[in-house]
Amino acid sequence: MRPARALISVSDKTNIVEFAKELSRLGIEIISTGGTAKLLKGAGIPVREISELTGFPEIMEGRVKTLHPKVHGGILARRDKDEHLRAMKELEIEPIDLLVINLYPFKETVAKGADLEEIIENIDIGGPTMVRAAAKNYKFVAIVTDPADYDRVLKELKETGEISLKTRFYLARKAFNLTAHYDALIADYLYSIDEEGKPLACRELRSPLTVTFEKVQDLRYGENPHQRGAFYREVFVKEPCVTRARKLHGEKELSFNNIYDLDGALNLVLEFEPETEGVACAIIKHANPCGVALGKTPQEAYEKALKVDPISAFGGIIAFNAKVTKEAAELITERFYECIIAPEYDEEALEVLKRKKNLRVLTTDGLTGIEKRGADSPFDYRRVVGGLLVQDRDLVTVDPEKLKVVTDREPTEKEWKDLLFAFKVVKWVKSNSVVYAKDGVAVAIGVGQTSRVDSARCAAEKAQMVGIDLNGSVLASEAFFPFRDSVDEAAKVGVTAIIQPGGSIRDKEVIEAANEHGMAMVFTGIRHFRH
């Protein structure tokens, strides 16, 4: 396909002047609109205004300018059908062989916090219509939507005088991907607000569900070396998260497993408010915490977290909810870790961490947006073969005022603190799970067993192996106890209080067991399964 005529209309004007100059030198006539036409004319490029082609002016403040049969007939006409060619001749429709289009900056307009009226005006209508028309007719028309493709198109035109079918099909796929992404962004934004533009507290689980993500990077591989992998992010998210984090150091790119573990580690420590609850440190290994602790300083929190399971911590991921200090950094660099993520770092801490060539150091640039947790990214997506499970993100926290003490004895003040701490931690442990806690440290963590009593036993046995005394600790379970056996196991190692959702048909039996052992037991009414 040798183009004779190109229509150029772009919001992103990156390299467009240089591209248009080359097209003009190749003898391709250029038609353009509005600001693009003005820019190209100013650069000395011969340009024909769109109104000259259509015989109709741009109207309604530019809302209507390319929605015209002389534009779309020129794009959609099949050059291999006599009927189409006769219609073009009779109606004096000129063929348009090459389109260079990108769309109004809807995403950028939302991101800058514009009002609803401005956002609506930045929903492109004519652009996507032309893009889709050209992509549909890719056998005869080329559609360029990405400045990164200018060089490829020019190379072919200069070498062969044509744009190959292979390239036209490549461009068409990108074009439809662009319009699908663009429309999904618009739908997602509109479903996040009411008719007055005010944010909705709860998003609708709509049908059909359209979701769209932008690629951050290709990964070396997926969960395993034989699986391909890539990292994508939602577009409008403003809360502190791994997708918005900046890498400050580390030669290697983040892996699939690194990113997944970073997400879990960061979300865990963000459960704790540094100003009121203390500095939180979490060490994650294979999607589960192997050490979590609160401290007055990052150094103290890290030391406490590490003591819980120093063997498993090797090669793990570390997260903090507060600025990392030099003292903490020096301790961290004594061992091998894959990554560390925190809101910020002291300059001296960063210098120390950079001594580790392969340690990836990430920052969320503070905790700005923490109050928006869940507002811009409200759903959790789980892929199954042939389908998708969608649910609200589990951002519920317990209200201490609504907790129910169900035993004869109430928890002491110290037990209350540890119970609330433990229940926040167990939320981020794979089910079935339990967490033993003592003095703001998750001293034993039972992960992912098929029975809850096994989780309790495994955690206790591991604590004993590393010399941790569980006497005087509390126990949190992310779901109810179906039998009293877990309570009996907890009593053997000295647990004095338990927090759990409640709701089992054997709650009475479980409560009686707690009373027999002199334990306090609290029901939350909230379950935190994590699969």
Domains of the chain (ranges, CATH numbers): 5-190 (3.40.50.1380), 241-371 (3.40.140.20), 400-523 (3.40.140.20)
Helices (H), 309-431: 310-313, 326-332, 347-353, 413-426
| Contacts of residue 464, Cβ cutoff 8 Å, sequence gap at least 6 | 470, 493
Instruction: Give the residue-averaged pLDDT of 378-403.
Output: 92
DSSP state for residue 189 in the 8-state scheme: H
The DSSP H or E segment spanning 169 is: helix 165-190
Rounded CA gap, 40 and 31, in Å?
A: 10
Using the predicted structure, report yes or no on whether residue 64 has a pLDDT greater than 90: no
Q: Give CA–CA dist 46/29, Å, rounded.
A: 8
* Structure token digits, residue 127: 């652009």
Give CA separation, 443 vs 281, 463, 472, in Å.
13, 7, 11
- 8 Å CB contact between 497 and 521: yes
For residue 407, give both structure tokens: 């035993």
Look up tokens 């990964």; give the residue: 219
Overall average pLDDT of the 371-385 stretch: 90
Mean pLDDT of 340-353: 97
Please choose, from the candidates 66, 15, 4, 57, the residue with its C-alpha nearest in 3D space to the C-alpha of residue 39.
15
**Is it the case that residue 100 has pLDDT exceeding 90?**
yes
Identity (one letter) of the amino acid at 166? K
Q: What is the rounded average pLDDT for all residues in the chain? A: 94
Q: Could you tell me which of 65, 80, 92 has the C-alpha nearest to residue 137?
A: 80
Cβ atoms of 175 and 127 closer than 8 Å? no
* Upper half-sphere CA count for residue 210 (Cβ side, 13 Å): 14
Residues 260-277: tens digit of each pLDDT: 999 999 999 999 999 999
Quick one: which of 278, 262, 308, 296 has its CA closest to 435? 308
Q: What pLDDT does 2 receive? A: 87
Q: What is the mean pLDDT of residues 82-110?
A: 94
Q: Between vectors from CA 497 to CA 496 and to CA 498, what angle results, nearest 5°?
A: 140
pLDDT tens figures, 16-57: 999 999 999 999 999 999 899 999 999 999 999 998 888 888
Q: Which residues have a Cβ under 8 Å from the Cβ of 106 and sit 6 or more positions away?
A: 119, 122, 123, 124, 182, 185, 186, 189
Question: Are the CB atoms for 61 and 104 separated by under 8 Å?
Answer: no
State the average pLDDT over residues 144-161: 96
What is the per-residue pLDDT for 22?
Answer: 96
pLDDT surpasses 90 at 307: yes
Q: Over 90: is that where the pLDDT of 208 sits? A: yes
Instruction: Give the pair of three-digit tokens for residue 157.
Output: 């035109």
Res 372 pLDDT > 90: no
Burial of 79 (0-12, 13-18, 19+ CB in 10 A): middle
Count the Cβ atoms, other than its own, within 10 Å of residue 444: 26
CA 2 to chain centre: 42
Q: What percent of the chain has pLDDT over 90?
A: 91
How far does CA 324 lie from the centroid of its chain? 24
- Both structure tokens of 413: 């003040």
Three-state DSSP at 185 gives helix
Q: List the catalytic residue out of 68, 84, 238, 286.
A: 286
Q: What is the mean pLDDT of residues 228-239?
A: 93
Strand, helix or coil at 336? coil
Confidence (pLDDT) at 343 = 97
Which pTM was predicted? 0.89
Residues 24, 18 contacting (CB under 8 angstroms):
no
- Three-state SS at 13: coil
Q: How many other CB atoms are found less than 10 A from the CB of residue 15?
A: 13
Q: How confident is the model at residue 63 (pLDDT cuts 50, 70, 90)?
A: confident
CA 110/CA 118 separation, integer angstroms? 9
pLDDT at 515 over 90: yes
Kindly tell me if the per-residue pLDDT of 66 is higher than 90. no
| 497 DSSP 8-state letter | E
Nearest residue to 487 (alpha-carbon basis) of 468, 507, 503, 466: 507
**Which DSSP state fits 412?**
P
* Averaged pLDDT for residues 319-347: 97
Q: What pLDDT, on a 0 to 100 scale, did the predictor assign at position 440? A: 96
Could you give phi then psi for residue 363, rounded to 5 degrees?
Answer: -130, 145
Q: Quick one: tokens of 3?
A: 């183009």
The radius of gyration computed from the CA coordinates of the chain, to the nearest angstrom, equals 30
Residue 414: pLDDT over 90: yes
Q: Which residues contact 54 (CB under 8 A, 6 or more apart)?
A: 68, 70, 71
Which one of the listed residues 136, 174, 323, 354 is annotated catalytic?
Answer: 136
Distance in angstroms (rounded) separating the CA atoms of residues 103 and 117: 18
Q: What angle do CA 138, 144, 145 make, to 5 degrees?
A: 120
pLDDT over 90 at 527, yes or no: yes
Q: Which pLDDT belongs to residue 56?
A: 86
Query: What is the C-alpha to C-alpha distance for residues 77 and 75, in angstroms, rounded to an integer?
Result: 6
Active site residue 286: yes
**3 state DSSP class of 158:** helix
pLDDT tens column, 471-509: 999 999 999 999 999 999 999 999 999 999 999 999 999
* Omega before residue 274 within 30° of 0, cis: no
